[in-house]
Amino acid sequence: MSKQKLHFNSKTIHGGQQPDEAYGAVMPPIYQTSTYAQTTPGGHKGYEYSRSANPTRTALERSLASIENGTYGLAFASGLSAIDAVVKLLEPGDEVISTNDLYGGSYRLFRQVFEKFGIQFHFTGLQDLDVLESKITSKTKLIWVETPTNPMMNVVDISGVSELAKKNNILLAVDNTFATPYIQRPLDLGADIVMHSATKYLGGHSDVVVGALIVNDKKLAEQLYFIQNASGAVCGPMDSFLVLRGIKTLHVRMQRHCENGKEIAQYLKAHPKIEKVYWPGFEDHPNHEIAKKQMSDYGGMISFIPKGANYKDAIRIVEQLKVFTLAESLGGVESLAGHPASMTHASIPKEEREKSGVVDSLIRLSVGIEDARDLIADLEQALE
């Protein structure tokens, strides 16, 4: 059976991979080298300098392309440097439309770094395609979608946005960090670019900071590769190895993240001290129909608001948790809890942030793969 035809749960292990040519090593060696011997200028075996390419990074990039059903993968030093490369495709005067609810660091990069170079960003709820259509102008060159969004768990119809993007000749990029390709594959739904903070579920063990882009179009891949090499924010060999190792268990980890996520979401929803739970698997989630259509499961990210809570109450609850660790980030095997208003989304002005629902009392959980009973007991004692 051709490796390209494998099912997802085999692609995570074999996709784009082959034993190393030198000694047949099954896992690609960590080629911890900056440079490569040449027999004559330009006489090399495909690698000349590790910013341009490194064999361990190549192995990761092939795996990334495979699991996202893409043709080309690019691995970056962080999720944000991957986003940075996408925005560098644009010119001064170009405009971007993005979800208004997104990772605070992406918002900060757009507003505080790129706006001063003459690129304009519009943030709006992309759940409503009519609203999106009304915002498109002849200057719109990129639509940036996070789905599910961080931290409000809104779901955007990727196929619907893609139709509008194609009609207007606009690039569509989807940040697939929360869902992962185990749950949703944006390229199959019409996106041009898939982006990951591989720091999260792809790495899966909270031990690296890595970013990824995956595309199908050769010209787009070449433009992004040019930017990656010219700007230099590449993923190092050790980090490439770690993410590659993480990807090999992505499907089994995700299955448990989804099971535990469902259990915790239902527990919270039934809890008398909880006001609201945000999780796309609920039938009464405003975008549940789209979620059901484009996602095969609902993941382990949940946000919630305790009843009558203020800023201090939310902080007290996250400080009380013992099995959940109070920390930035998500997607590792261990459960994490965060307070978006003061942590991951603090770089978004309060007024902006609250418009999309990121209020002071909101708590975000990254449900890990521990025994769900221990996670529920931990939440129970903290909510007491």
Chain positions contacting ligand P1T, by CB under 6 A: 78-80, 103, 105-106, 146, 150, 175, 177, 197, 199, 209, 211, 328-330, 344
Distance (Å, whole) CA 304 – CA 327:
16
Q: Residue 259 CB, nearest distance to ligand P1T (Å)? A: 22
Q: Residue 93 CB, nearest distance to ligand P1T (Å)? A: 26
Q: Are 339 and 314 in contact (CB under 8 A)?
A: yes
- Closer CB to ligand P1T, 15 or 105, in the complex: 105
Q: Residue 137 CB, nearest distance to ligand P1T (Å)? A: 26
Q: Residue 66 CB, nearest distance to ligand P1T (Å)? A: 21
Distance (Å, whole) CA 299 – CA 260:
9
Q: Strand runs (DSSP E) across the chain, as ranges?
A: 72-76, 95-99, 120-124, 140-146, 171-175, 193-197, 211-215, 274-278, 301-306, 325-326, 336-338, 363-366
Tokens in use for 307?
Answer: 């009843």
- Closer CB to ligand P1T, 209 or 258, in the complex: 209
Tell me the residue number closest to ligand P1T, measured at CB: 79
CA torsion sign for 209, 32, 247, 324 is negative
- Closer CB to ligand P1T, 202 or 290, in the complex: 202
Dihedrals phi, psi of 140, to nearest 5 degrees: -70, 120
DSSP string, 99-145: ESS--HHHHHIIIIIIGGGT-EEEEE-TTSHHHHHHH--TTEEEEEE
Q: Which residues are catalytic?
A: 51, 103, 175, 200
- Closer CB to ligand P1T, 108 or 256, in the complex: 108
